[in-house]
Structure 1
Amino acid sequence: MATEQWFVGPLPLDPGETPPPDDLESGTQPCGDPSWSTPPSRPGDPPEPEPEDAQGHLPEAPACTPSPKPLAPSPAPAPPRLSLDTMFSPITEQLCYLLKKADDFQSYLLYSREQVHKEQLAKVMPTFLRMCEPYFLYLEAAARSVPPIFGALQELVRKRLLEISQQLTLRLEQLVLMYASFGFVDLDETDPQSISCFFCGRFSISPSHEVSIFRYFAPAAYNASRFPRCLYKKMRWNLETTPEPSSRGQDSHVDYYFLCYRDTWEDTGKSPANSCPQIQKLWSIGRWVPLGPAEDDLYSWILCPQPPGDYQQLLTIGFEEPSHMLATDLLVQILTSPAGPARPPSAAGPAAWAAQGS
């Protein structure tokens, strides 16, 4: 059986025959080019048959010249590194969308002449705040997650996420305060229909401890039963403690921490008008210490208009209000310190808590 021959290398030369000049210049030949693989025709030479295997099949010629040594497998290409701007692109797009919605609500309030339309927008405001909750939840959880999930970039990513969270927080405060100034929103927390505070994130500091963040649109009276008086709260953190599966006889409970300030003019006996504005507010972080009603008495809770409590001061910050981000950082340092804010036993009295906070 004779077929057309395709060779990879040059044919052996007869005695006295000179190789073509191209063979001298290049030792390798391109694959798949018939001009390189067709042997020179010599008159009188019959075509040579190709060798067959034992079963009568012709062997297939290799497509390219085999390498004398096997090549080592090349390493897989490293995935391209994304820049921080690329990583944050979906997050910033969502931020722009929420900020745009806030601008629309403000424009309707300022430029709409229909009173009914403004009242409808005021009713939509709680819905808009709830729409921002998943976004806040992602920002705080991703920035403060334990253990870190961003490796070496953790600090850069953490700072950027928290700055975005703070930017949206301040914008929502400005928007709601503007609606409240027109009388369309009630900020009194004693009113069940009010929106005195809003949820702005949750994160875990351990497998059994989660912190939820709430921020008040306007300072609200703390109403401590004892010292200090004239105490106003600006932020609240709920520390939710879940017992481990191995623990028996323990129930989940929630501790409440606050960012508060008190008017220092009360200590000097001067009126606020005669006091220096720079030293009127002394900021601190403290814990709500419940004084009653009894936990096992349901009727006392129903009949109690407001549960009495005290303020266990844990940290004095100073006369300048900390930012939303810094205040939460300070609380995390308090909660994760080696000593930690030990939960007072139920047998301890208010005098012990007052002494600890003084």
Structure 2
Amino acid sequence: MADTEVQFEDPLASHAPSGQQEQVSGEREPDCTESLQNTGQGEVEEPLLSSSAVVAQAPPCGDGAACSCLGARWMERSLESMELQLQLLTSKADDLHNWVTSGQGHFEREALAEAVSRFLYTCQPYFNHLEYLRSHKSQHTLLPFDSYTWLLDFSQQLCDRLEQLVLTYASYNLLCLDETNPNSVSPFCMGQSQLGPLRVAAFRYFKPMPYLAQVHTSLYKRMRWNVDRLREEQSEEGVAKIVGDTEYYFLCYEDIPNAHADAGEDSVVRMWSIGKWVQVTPDTDDIYDWIICEVSQADYHRLLFLGRAEPSSGSATVRLQQMLSSHQTAE
């Protein structure tokens, strides 16, 4: 496989509208969309990334050692490609970070904010392809497990670097992280995967946000997953089309008073969990009910308790996928 080349423009050299797609070659990964009500994000169009990794295909599965050898070589080349892309993306993140912290005031504030917004958009295909490789592990059972550990590590490294970058820009009042603001950059898409009939898109909040915008619930969300349950339906014209219902899952924490704390112990215990958004208001799908509803309300149904330590974004996504897969098997 040829060396991977990732094409970037100098983000401060162009003032194209945020989200504008650049014309580069490569296979499109599945769209990564933002569907939850009242996030201020709207639907996100997916950009293209010039990369030979995007068009990498798994080898045909033969038998025995031949299949294992081909699969291992394919994964090795994919890992090398993804590691190179990670280095390029983190280097660009460092440049953006240095531009604002070095006090180079000749850059306009709007240009700096636009540069970071466009860079977040550029990173989405990379997260998509990492998830694509991880979600296909069941098709390559002879591949070493640590290959998928590497993929998780790549995703976490880029996630951490983006968080550092965006929080720095927010501290300079260059970016907004409040999801009720239409100009907010939080949450951002961390990739999309396919689990049978389920399509899972992961979103990460740059800082914890209240579970509900206008109601205090003591819950704070750190991640969200849009889970589309896809099925095929026939239209009135007899044409088959794929439709789906979307469910929303969250990684949240809550601070629980510790009534039995001894002297010197924490009086509050922070507990993490994964739960499901269960719509309360409006209680119908009627579009008119949604129009007159200023902010939708929902309960949080806890499904997985994760303990006191905050899980990484990758491990939390794996736990959600395992839960969804087990439910699929049970059904």
Same fold flag (TM > 0.5): yes
Q: Which residue of 2 aligns with 1:184?
A: 174
Q: 1:222, 1:232 within 8 Å by CA — same for their partners in 2? A: yes
Q: Which residue of 2 aligns with 1:159?
A: 149
Unaligned runs of 5+ in 1: 1-75, 343-358
Q: CA deviation at 1:300?
A: 2.2
Which SS does the other structure have where 1:152 is aligned? coil
Q: Which residue of 2 aligns with 1:56?
A: none
Q: Which residue of 1 aligns with 2:81?
A: 90
Q: Which residue of 1 aligns with 2:63?
A: none
Q: CA deviation at 1:99?
A: 0.4
Deviations 1:41-72 (A, max 9, x none): xxxxxxxxxxxxxxxxxxxxxxxxxxxxxxxx
Q: Which residue of 1 aligns with 2:92?
A: 101
Q: 2:71, 2:142 within 8 Å by CA — same for their partners in 1? A: no
Answer yes or no: is 1:321 the counterpart of 2:310: yes
Q: Which residue of 2 aligns with 1:234?
A: 222
Cα distance in 2 for residues equivalent to 1:122 and 1:291: 36
Q: CA deviation at 1:147?
A: 3.7
Which SS does the other structure have where 1:202 is aligned? strand
Cα distance in 2 for residues equivalent to 1:337 and 1:81: 28
Q: Which residue of 2 aligns with 1:194?
A: 184
Cα distance in 2 for residues equivalent to 1:195 and 1:310: 25
Task: Calculate percent identity across the aligned residue pairs.
Answer: 37
Cα distance in 1 for residues equivalent to 2:272 and 2:298: 19
**Which amino acid is 1:299 matched to?**
Y
Aligned counterpart for 1:112 among listed residues 98, 103, 107: 103
Which structure shows the higher strand fraction?
2
Count of aligned pairs between the two proteins:
258
Aligned counterpart for 2:256 among listed residues 264, 286, 303: 264
Relative to structure 1, is the Cα distance of residues 79 and 209 closer, same or farther in structure 2, using a 3 angstrom cutoff?
Answer: closer
Q: Which residue of 1 aligns with 2:281?
A: 292
Q: Which residue of 2 aligns with 1:253?
A: 245
Q: 2:274, 2:306 within 8 Å by CA — same for their partners in 1? A: yes
Cα distance in 2 for residues equivalent to 1:341 and 1:190: 38
- Structure with bigger gyration radius: 1
**Which amino acid is 1:88 matched to?**
L
Cα distance in 2 for residues equivalent to 1:87 and 1:340: 30
Relative to structure 1, is the Cα distance of residues 98 and 295 closer, same or farther in structure 2, using a 3 angstrom cutoff?
Answer: same
Q: Quick check: 105-114 or 80-89, which moved more?
A: 80-89
Relative to structure 1, is the Cα distance of residues 82 and 251 closer, same or farther in structure 2, using a 3 angstrom cutoff?
Answer: closer
Q: Which residue of 2 aligns with 1:123?
A: 114
Relative to structure 1, is the Cα distance of residues 186 and 86 closer, same or farther in structure 2, using a 3 angstrom cutoff?
Answer: same
Relative to structure 1, is the Cα distance of residues 117 and 198 closer, same or farther in structure 2, using a 3 angstrom cutoff?
Answer: same
Q: Which residue of 1 aligns with 2:271?
A: 282
Q: Which residue of 1 aligns with 2:299?
A: 310
Deviations 1:275-304 (A, max 9, x none): 728x53110000000012143432221222
Q: 1:293, 1:308 within 8 Å by CA — same for their partners in 2? A: yes
Q: CA deviation at 1:224?
A: 8.7
Q: CA deviation at 1:332?
A: 1.2
Answer yes or no: is 1:134 the counterpart of 2:122: no
**Which amino acid is 1:104 matched to?**
D
Cα distance in 2 for residues equivalent to 1:276 and 1:118: 42
Q: 1:219, 1:234 within 8 Å by CA — same for their partners in 2? A: yes
Q: CA deviation at 1:170?
A: 0.9
Q: 2:72, 2:143 within 8 Å by CA — same for their partners in 1? A: no
Cα distance in 2 for residues equivalent to 1:233 and 1:330: 16
Relative to structure 1, is the Cα distance of residues 157 and 233 closer, same or farther in structure 2, using a 3 angstrom cutoff?
Answer: same
Deviations 1:308-357 (A, max 9, x none): 11001101111110111211111112111157899xxxxxxxxxxxxxxx
Relative to structure 1, is the Cα distance of residues 152 and 163 closer, same or farther in structure 2, using a 3 angstrom cutoff?
Answer: same
**Which amino acid is 2:94 matched to?**
D
- TM-score, length-scaled by structure 1: 0.64
Cα distance in 2 for residues equivalent to 1:232 and 1:127: 27
Relative to structure 1, is the Cα distance of residues 276 and 93 closer, same or farther in structure 2, using a 3 angstrom cutoff?
Answer: same
Q: CA deviation at 1:101?
A: 0.5
Cα distance in 2 for residues equivalent to 1:81 and 1:283: 36
Deviations 1:56-110 (A, max 9, x none): xxxxxxxxxxxxxxxxxxxx9x989749765422211111110010000010011
User: Greater relative contact order: 1 or 2 (C-alpha under 8 angstroms, separation 6 or more)?
Assistant: 2
**Which amino acid is 1:212 matched to?**
A
Which SS does the other structure have where 1:107 is aligned? helix
Q: CA deviation at 1:112?
A: 2.8
**Which amino acid is 1:239 matched to?**
V
Relative to structure 1, is the Cα distance of residues 106 and 213 closer, same or farther in structure 2, using a 3 angstrom cutoff?
Answer: same
Q: 2:250, 2:274 within 8 Å by CA — same for their partners in 1? A: yes
Q: CA deviation at 1:245?
A: 4.5
Relative to structure 1, is the Cα distance of residues 340 and 147 closer, same or farther in structure 2, using a 3 angstrom cutoff?
Answer: closer
Q: Which residue of 1 aligns with 2:7?
A: none
Q: Which residue of 2 aligns with 1:26?
A: none
Unaligned runs of 5+ in 2: 1-65
Deviations 1:235-270 (A, max 9, x none): 00110011135899x9521000000000113x6499
